[in-house]
Amino acid sequence: MIDRRAALALLALGPLLAARRARAISAMTLTNEDRADVQRIEAYLNAIHTLKARFEQIAPDGGDSHGTAWLDRPGKLRFEYDPPVPYLLVANHGDVYFHDSQLGQTSEVALGDTPLSIILAPEIKLSGNILITDITRVPGLIQVTVLRAERWWQGSLSLAFNTAPLLLRQWILLDEQRRETRVSLSDIETGGHFPEALFEFKVTPTPPTGPKR
């Protein structure tokens, strides 16, 4: 089973002290082909308002887990892991919650402090404070790697797409310790409407088990 640290990699929670380390960050120089592909990717991502898909997550240690993902832009995401994995990740109202039902513990972080904010933004732009550091092409596939200039220590996000037609297939999170978490999507459905309750984080309290009086 996937471990807790691997699931938390979706949040890419790195120590803030790392921000004090000096490091030069620069974007790659884009060719005309690169710019055309980036514009096409931006248009595709901005056209997605809702998405539902099955996911497979590969942890840094090679462990894998599966589940269902829902996305509702801007700002809403739900990752529901299949049993026996006891994890749930929900993004809404500017925060991201990661819940471990087995331990009864919840971690919370601002959405803006995670790479998830890139794909959940009201308008997705792979420019400005979002730096493109690599574009890789193989037949039928293009992968774009980005990071946030002001939060580079939290790692990079790589988005992989089928090219004909353009279709998001995978994202890869690389944290500050160079640990890689891959999330692959299948059975992708876009469009439609999801109930607001799907993105509300609520934990049902466990009733006490002591003797009745």
Q: pLDDT (tens digit, 9 = 90+) per residue, 19-61?
A: 334 445 678 999 999 999 999 999 999 999 999 999 999 988 8
> pLDDT digits over 116-130, tens only?
899 999 999 999 999
Question: pTM value?
Answer: 0.83
Long-range pairs for 144-152: beta carbons < 8 A, 24 or more residues apart: 144/37, 144/38, 144/41, 146/118, 147/25, 147/115, 148/115, 148/117, 148/118, 149/25, 151/19, 151/113, 152/23, 152/25
Give, as one character, the DSSP assignment of residue 117: H
What gap in Å lies between CA 95 and CA 105, rounded to an integer? 16
Neighbour-count burial for 25-64, b at 16+ CB within 10 Å, e otherwise: eeeeeeeeebeebbeebeeebeebeebbbebebbbbeeee
Domains of the chain by residue range = 4-13+28-187
Radius of gyration for the alpha carbons in the chain, expressed in angstroms and rounded: 18
Question: Which segments in the chain show pLDDT lower than 50?
Answer: 1, 12-23, 206-207, 213
CATH of domain 4-13+28-187: 2.50.20.10
The helix/strand/coil state of 151 is helix
**Amino acid found at 207:** P
Tell me, what's the pLDDT at 5?
52
The helix/strand/coil state of 23 is coil
